Each structure stands twice: as C-alpha cells, then as structure tokens.
C-alpha cells in the first residue's frame, strides 16, 4: 500500500541547494516541480528563505564552469531578494542556532544543519529539498518537503 502524501500550503519556504540543481536538470524526476517552486518565489507568490551556504554551494559549481555562470547565479539570487526573499547571512545568532541544533541531534556542522538553522531564523514554514533523507533528523524542528507537495 502506497503512502498518502499531504499537499502543503506554504507562504514562506527555505529552499535547499538540491532544488536549484534539480530545476536545471530537466531530465531529472521532479524537475518541473522544482522549477515551478522557484518561479513562484521569483514572482513573489511564495516568500523564499535562502541560506548563504546554498549560495556558496551553487557558486562553487558555477565557478567551475566559469565566471559568467557565477555572475548568473549571483544575479538570480539578487532577483529573488528583490522579489521579497530573505538571504540569511552567517552571524552570531545563526552560529548559536547551529550549535544548538548540532548538540540536540548529536551531529557535526555540515551544510544541512546550516540550512535548517537559516530556515528557522528566517521563520520559514518548511524546507523544500530533493534530499529528504538528509534532513530527516530535523523533522521535529521544521517540515521537510519536496516541491510536488506544495500548493
């Protein structure tokens, strides 16, 4: 028997790096849902929350292609910010949240916990990701969903 998945109405969502990558790779499963979520954020229908680690991860890949690709990533983030999205920078309060989450879940600091802390700091209702398994331990802290389950 298959699992019934609820659809969530979300007005403010944190977006994991995997959504951006999935949206670019049209041959991947769920690419259209990832693309649709990013378009909704760009149009201001959903407020996006982004961790600076997400920008860093995307820029890492972009710079490997070339400076022009990195400039496109930066421009995309600036457009998202102009549409009302929040980009959560790394400061003392974020560091405190990360330390607290790592202690609570007995884990080391890695990008996923930085994204969770950024989502909580930005008061996002959920984290959209293609890597639900990577965020499973944080399900009691914030909802973890795939873009197909957002309406």
Residue ranges and CATH numbers for the domains of the chain are 12-146 (3.40.50.1010)
Q: Do 87 and 119 touch, CB atoms closer than 8 A?
A: no
pLDDT for 73-127, tens place per residue?
A: 999 999 999 999 999 999 999 999 999 999 999 999 999 999 999 999 999 999 9
- Strands of the sheet containing 126-128, edge to edge, are 86-88, 47-51, 12-15, 126-128, 143-145
Stretch (H or E) spanning 82: helix 67-82
pLDDT value, residue 147: 94
pLDDT for 9-59, tens place per residue?
A: 789 999 999 999 999 999 999 999 999 999 999 999 999 999 999 999 999
pLDDT value, residue 2: 39
pLDDT for 55-64, tens place per residue?
A: 999 999 999 9
Q: What is the mean pLDDT of the chain?
A: 93
Classify residue 45 by its DSSP letter.
Answer: S
Q: Do 49 and 94 touch, CB atoms closer than 8 A?
A: no
Q: Do 88 and 118 touch, CB atoms closer than 8 A?
A: yes
pLDDT value, residue 3: 43
As a whole number of angstroms, the distance between CA 99 and CA 125 comes to 21
As a whole number of angstroms, the distance between CA 90 and CA 79 comes to 20
Stretch (H or E) spanning 15: strand 12-15
């Amino acid at each position: 028997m298959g699992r019934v998945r609820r659809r969530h109405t979300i007005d403010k969502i944190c977006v994991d790096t995997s959504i951006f990558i999935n949206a670019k790779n049209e041959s991947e499963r769920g690419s259209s849902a990832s693309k649709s979520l990013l378009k909704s954020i760009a149009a201001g229908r959903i407020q996006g929350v982004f961790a600076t680690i997400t920008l860093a991860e995307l820029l890492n890949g972009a710079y490997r292609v070339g400076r022009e690709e990195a400039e496109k990533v930066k421009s995309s983030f600036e457009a998202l910010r102009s549409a009302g999205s929040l980009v959560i920078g790394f400061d003392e309060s974020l560091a405190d949240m990360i330390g607290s989450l790592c202690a609570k879940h007995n884990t080391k600091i890695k990008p996923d916990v930085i994204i969770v802390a950024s989502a909580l700091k930005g008061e996002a209702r959920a984290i959209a990701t293609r890597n639900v398994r990577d965020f499973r331990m944080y399900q009691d802290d914030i909802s973890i969903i795939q873009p197909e389950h957002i309406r």
